[in-house]
Amino acid sequence: MIKNRALFEFWLKEAETSSFAGWDFSYLAGRMVEMPVAWGYKSRILPKIRQVASLLDMGTGGGEFLASLQPLPAQTYATEAYPPNVPIARRRLSPLGVEVIPVEEGSPLPFSDQQFELVINRHEWYAPSEVYRILKPGGEFITQQVGENNDIELNLLLGAPSPTGGEANWFVDTAARALGNVGFWVEQTQTDFTRTRFYDIGAIIYYLKAVPWQVPDFSVEAYWEPLGEIHNRIERDGYLDVTLHRFFIHARRLD
């Protein structure tokens, strides 16, 4: 039985009628909070960006994060695999001199061998061999990845299958070993488990619409009953916490 059904239905309607664009979760400010991890990704990459003339940002989303790193190197490119994000990123980044290139996951990167001094990647899929190929000798690859256990409680509470969008066994040791296997020298690794806190069921629905790989068959209709149970839990406890799993790798091409 759904408690405070009127509120439950309010949040469903609010989430269903709210649009998501780029990689901007500002709509959920105060309703979803990600607890910080043990490092600052921006603090790690900014000094590197100021030292290079060529940069690639993999998986730029709507370009929000890359734009925050200005001034950018003279030769800065961005890739994006989610088609609706490409025009958003272009509108934001083209005035900054950044070319945004659509890509398909699993396809070769559309760049020359040894083109970049620095490749950054925040939560985007990558092929180690392709990143190695496009980096200059001495070039660096810095990535923050979403680990396999991220948000897993949402799947468990909904009775949904485990996420299919990420790599199996996607942990820092696995990723570092794969980079080393293609010739990278892994200079630093770090991993952390914190939490994401949701304060209403509408925030969870909006979030799952924005990250469809977490529950690929998600719809309110398909998961009505477990959504109601999660709503009851939030009404009782005031919030729902789920695992936030992140890891960080800094690697270098030596030859």
- Evaluate whether 55 touches 117 at the Cβ level (below 8 Å): yes
Packing angle of the helix pair 5-16, 224-237 (nearest 10 deg) = 120
- 225 pLDDT band, cuts 50/70/90, is very high
Choose the weakest-confidence range: 11-25, 28-42, 68-82. 11-25
Closest-CA residue to 184 (of 155, 239, 141): 141
Closest-CA residue to 247 (of 154, 144, 110): 144
- 191 pLDDT band, cuts 50/70/90, is very high
Share of the chain above pLDDT 90, in %: 82
pTM for this prediction = 0.90
Q: What is the pLDDT of residue 123?
A: 94
5-253 maps to which CATH number?
Answer: 3.40.50.150
- 194 pLDDT band, cuts 50/70/90, is very high
- 79 pLDDT band, cuts 50/70/90, is very high
Q: What is the pLDDT of residue 28?
A: 87
End-to-end CA distance of the chain: 63
Residues 6+ apart with CB under 8 A from 170: 145, 146, 147, 148
Q: What is the pLDDT of residue 162?
A: 81
> Distance between CA atoms of 155 and 148, rounded to whole angstroms?
12
Q: What is the pLDDT of residue 213?
A: 84
Residues 6+ apart with CB under 8 A from 236: none
Closest-CA residue to 159 (of 207, 235, 230, 240): 230
Q: What is the pLDDT of residue 3?
A: 84
Name beta bridge partners: 57. 78, 120
Residue in this structure with the two tokens 């979403």, named with its chain if needed: 146
Q: Which two tokens stand for residue 243?
A: 């695992």
> Distance between CA atoms of 156 and 136, rounded to whole angstroms?
44
> Distance between CA atoms of 210 and 10, rounded to whole angstroms?
19
Q: What is the pLDDT of residues 140-158, one digit of tens each?
A: 999 999 999 999 999 999 9
Decide which of 250 and 9 is more confident: 250
Closest-CA residue to 131 (of 54, 67, 190, 183): 183
Q: For the chain, which residues make up each domain, given as ranges?
A: 5-253
Q: What is the pLDDT of residue 212?
A: 84
Q: What is the pLDDT of residue 163?
A: 77
166 pLDDT above the threshold of 70: no
> Distance between CA atoms of 206 and 228, rounded to whole angstroms?
15
- DSSP codes, 68-98: TTPSPPSEEEEEESSTTHHHHHHHHHGGGTP
